[in-house]
A and B are shown apart, each in its own frame.
Chain A
Amino acid sequence: MENILKDQVQLLNWNTDVTLKNVDEFRGAIEKLVEGEKTKLILELTKVAYLNSAALGVIADAVLGAGRAGKELIIVGVQSTVGEIFEIVHFSALMKIFTALEEGYAYFTGELK
């Protein structure tokens, strides 16, 4: 997985579906993202069409864990099926979700609420 560091923001670009086969790998990548030094964290899901409930749990835990550590994890690049999955579990009540990566950066620079 691509892990790109920018000045203030750490981006994890996860680019495959998450099923029971690879959810542990996904969990490890997310934990590494949250444990990093940056306080502004982005999980990009542009190339993801499928997340199982275990993956949703990993994301929820990471968002809450980041908050407790004085960080913020946001989600960008949400496509139609993942968007519907997020709606069902009301993820927008737990975290900021944006369609495009640029919107995530704009949120962290204060240009977008």
Chain B
Amino acid sequence: MNNVNSGTYGQILVIHSRSDIALAMKTTHRIAMLTEFSDHESILLQLVTEEACMNAFEHGCPSGTCEFRISWLVESDIMEIRVCQNGGSFELSNEPTQPVKIGSRGRGLVLIQGIMDEVRLIPTGPYITLSMRKKRKV
């Protein structure tokens, strides 16, 4: 599906370990550059990638062994990143920025919801998919 000229780009990566998250972040950066997202947007999309993958590890891999899928789809000026994992559902806040968190944890989903234009959970059988979409700024 990789056809940058037509404005469509897609890729899938299976994550097995924490070290694979760095590869996912690099993939986000490469796709963002290919599809003309700005450096600023690319950095924030990499952050979303890291946080979504870490969230998948923390909620879907209690035993430490893990396998989940991250996919990218860019159509026109919108990048969608999806992280699909087995079980381990979690909640998205309707008011992600309130109240101010003062502890050391719990900011990952706040960041994702603050950076992306649209974030939703899609349950499908035993799987839960975190879908995150961001429109490229002109």
Contact = CB atoms under 8 A, between A and B. Distances in A.
Contacts of B21: 20
Interface in B66-114: 97, 100-105, 107-108, 110-111, 114
A106 interface: no
B54 A58 contact: no
Contacts of A56: 107, 111
Contact of B107 (A20, A49, A50, A53): A53
B59 interface: no
Interface string A40-60: 000000000110111011101
A88 B103 contact: no
Name A's interface SS: helix
A84 interface: yes
B107 A19 contact: no
A88 B115 contact: yes
A5 interface: no
Interface string B2-22: 000000000000000010011
Interface in A63-104: 64, 80-81, 84-85, 87-90, 93-94
A25 interface: no
Interface of A: 19-21, 49-50, 52-54, 56-58, 60-61, 64, 80-81, 84-85, 87-90, 93-94
A3 B115 CA distance: 32
Contact of A20 (B54, B100, B114, B115): B54
A88 B97 CA distance: 7
Contacts of B100: 89-90, 93-94
Contacts of A61: 103-104
A52 B110 contact: no
